[in-house]
Amino acid sequence: MSGSRRALVTGGAGFIGSHLVEGLVADGWRVRVLDDFSSGREENLADVRDRVDVVQADVCDLEAVAAAVAGVDAVFHLAAIPSVPQSIDQPLRADAVNVHATLGLLEASRRAGVARVVFAASCAVYGDAPQLPKREDLPPAPLSPYALHKLAGEHYCLLYTRLHALPTVALRYFNVYGPRQNPDGDYAAVIPRFLRDAQEGKPVRIFGDGAQTRDFVYVGDVVRANLSAVESERAVGRVLNVASGRETSVRDLATLVGELLGSGVAPVHEAQRPGDVLRSFADVAAAADRLGWTPQIDLREGLERTVASAGSSGADREGRIAG
Ligand SMILES: NC(=O)c1ccc[n+]([C@@H]2O[C@H](COP(=O)([O-])OP(=O)(O)OC[C@H]3O[C@@H](n4cnc5c(N)ncnc54)[C@H](O)[C@@H]3O)[C@@H](O)[C@H]2O)c1
């Protein structure tokens, strides 16, 4: 049992972070959130707002970070500029938030004697290396500043474990989806875009022929992986894939969305985007071994939960159901 341990979740007002906060609260943790609300939203925390201490601050602000880590047992570091195009357009700011602030947080955690840091890494580090499934020991091939930032973040975590005995775990999330994911913007993730367009009766936009594949992992499974990562001694100093371990083409995803909404979808095909990875899915054996974690929610069920929660007022309870 977690008792009344204290956790800091950076980026806790965001899509994944807010589900994690719900999962931690449900497990009995006392939770502090540090977020600048640049892409996160207050409403994401509606269900737990009275049980969570929210600090509005920039994760680059070292004083605010030092105050936020004071007295916490575990840090979940999710705050980031999680956008590939933004990392290309604003490389210095993205580096400051994604890399420099990660180092600042590790240093503050070391000084404060934090017992575990769990870092949100990304499958972007694999780039378009052809080997499948993606295993953690493949050589990284970052294709964007964002991917490089996440790789640097992982390495800083590993270094802090080796040099300072700060226990860290880096979780490489694949394509996370679920309730509260933002469908807006040109580079929004494919699932919230498809769901919104199909629900509005619009054609879904597929870049290229739709044969490209992804590994879609439900946010509740990602929450469970984080909750295991904070407990498991065997995960310390590791980088672990967090994914479904299944390969789904974007075309099949569109068909499934149409089936679930009972409407069918009419895809329109647009030019393939430069740098788009052709095939991607993960080997999740290391996470099973080190975390005792396996994904539980398949794509159909995860989409059903996402659809069911859409339009409901305030936050949903998906993190807790799945957690
Ligand atoms: N969504 C995915 O599929 C996916 C895949 C791999 C990795 N990740 C990683 O998971 C984490 C969470 O991503 P998400 O999808 O929930 O995105 P999100 O944009 O919803 O969450 C990011 C959160 O960080 C906050 N933030 C950004 N800059 C900040 C700053 N300077 N100071 C304080 N807070 C700041 C935002 O306001 C937001 O609440 C990120 O680190 C992202 O890189 C996500």
Q: Is the pLDDT score of 241 beyond 60?
A: yes
Q: Residue 259 falls within a domain, yes or no?
A: no
Confidence of residue 186 (pLDDT cuts 50, 70, 90): low
Task: Kindly list the protein residues whose Cβ atom lies closer than 6 A to any atom of ligand 1.
Answer: 11, 13-17, 35-40, 58-60, 78-82, 97, 120, 122, 173, 175-176
CA gap 175, 311 in Å, rounded: 23
CATH number of the domain within which 76 lies: 3.40.50.720
pLDDT digits (tens, 9 = 90+) for 288-307: 999 999 999 999 999 999 99
Domain that holds residue 33: 6-177+216-243+281-296
Predicted pLDDT of residue 317? 38
Q: Residue 21 falls within a domain, yes or no?
A: yes
Q: Is the pLDDT score of 321 beyond 70?
A: no
| Global pTM value | 0.95
Q: Residue 190 falls within a domain, yes or no?
A: no
Q: Is the pLDDT score of 21 beyond 60?
A: yes
Atom of ligand 1 nearest to the CA of 39: 37
Q: Is the pLDDT score of 157 beyond 80?
A: yes
CA gap 303, 297 in Å, rounded: 9
Q: Which mutation among 8, 21, 36 tests ligand 1's pocket best, with the greatest number of atoms within 8 A of CB?
A: 36
Residue 160 gets which letter from DSSP? H
Q: Is the pLDDT score of 281 beyond 50?
A: yes
Count other C-beta atoms under 10 Å from residue 90's C-beta.
15
Q: How far is the CA of 122 from the centre of ligand 1 (A)?
A: 11
DSSP string, 11-29: TTTSHHHHHHHHHHHHTT-
Stretch 54-67: mean pLDDT, rounded? Answer: 98
CA gap 75, 79 in Å, rounded: 11
Residue 293 dihedral angles phi and psi, to the nearest 5°: -120, 135
Q: How far is the CA of 188 from the centre of ligand 1 (A)?
A: 13
**156 catalytic residue (yes or no):** no
Confidence of residue 265 (pLDDT cuts 50, 70, 90): confident
pLDDT digits (tens, 9 = 90+) for 79-106: 999 988 899 999 999 999 999 999 999 9
Q: How far is the CA of 39 from the centre of ligand 1 (A)?
A: 8
Q: How far is the CA of 13 from the centre of ligand 1 (A)?
A: 9
Q: Residue 65 falls within a domain, yes or no?
A: yes
Burial status of residue 110 (CB atoms within 10 A of its CB: 0-12, 13-18, 19 or more): middle
CA gap 91, 113 in Å, rounded: 32
Confidence of residue 70 (pLDDT cuts 50, 70, 90): very high
What percentage of the chain reaches a pLDDT higher than 90? 85
**Marked catalytic residue, from 126, 146, 173, 218:** 146
Q: Is the pLDDT score of 13 beyond 50?
A: yes
Predicted pLDDT of residue 187? 72
Question: Helices (H) and strands (E) in the chain — how many of each?
Answer: 12, 13
Predicted pLDDT of residue 176? 98
Count structural domains, the chain.
Answer: 1
Q: Whose CA is nearest to atom 31 of ligand 1?
A: 58
pLDDT digits (tens, 9 = 90+) for 145-154: 999 999 999 9
Q: Residue 160 falls within a domain, yes or no?
A: yes
Q: Is the pLDDT score of 312 beyond 80?
A: no
Confidence of residue 155 (pLDDT cuts 50, 70, 90): very high
CB-based contact 185:191 (threshold 8 Å): no
Q: Which mutation among 176, 177, 218, 241 tests ligand 1's pocket best, with the greatest number of atoms within 8 A of CB?
A: 176
Q: How far is the CA of 79 from the centre of ligand 1 (A)?
A: 5
Q: Residue 187 falls within a domain, yes or no?
A: no
Count other C-beta atoms under 10 Å from residue 162's C-beta.
11
Q: Residue 152 falls within a domain, yes or no?
A: yes
Predicted pLDDT of residue 1? 44
Q: Residue 196 falls within a domain, yes or no?
A: no
CA gap 262, 198 in Å, rounded: 10
